[in-house]
Amino acid sequence: MPNKHAAVKDLRKNERRALRNARLKTHVKSLSKQLKEVAKAGSKTEVVEAARKLQQASAKAAKNHVLHFNKTRRMTSAASKLVTATK
């Protein structure tokens, strides 16, 4: 346990940030899984909507340095490929 008050405060802030980052990361992963499920059995409009949501969430995660920028680019690219492959 830290001795100084500022170190205790930093510890609290780091714990809150870790929870927020984990929540955002989990949200992006669940959107990715939803997109794959919708692509298997959904219509094109549903796939486009799911891909748009995934792109927005992953861009926000990259902006906040939760995910790496290139990873979000790869996810967006894969999502657009699913959209074009869907009929």
For residue 87, what pLDDT band results from cuts at 50, 70 and 90?
A: confident
DSSP code at position 38: H
What is the per-residue pLDDT for 2? Answer: 84
The three-state secondary structure class of 51 is: helix
For residue 80, what pLDDT band results from cuts at 50, 70 and 90?
A: very high
DSSP secondary structure, 2-30, as one string: -SSHHHHHHHHHHHHHHHHHHHHHHHHHH
CA distance 2 to 68: 30
Q: Where are the domains of the chain?
A: 5-85
Tokens for 25, please give them.
């990361």
State in words which class domain 5-85 has.
mainly alpha
Question: Is the separation of the CB atoms in 87 and 42 below 8 Å?
Answer: no
Q: For 21-78, what is each residue's pLDDT tens digit?
A: 999 999 999 999 999 999 998 889 999 999 999 999 999 999 999 999 999 999 999 9
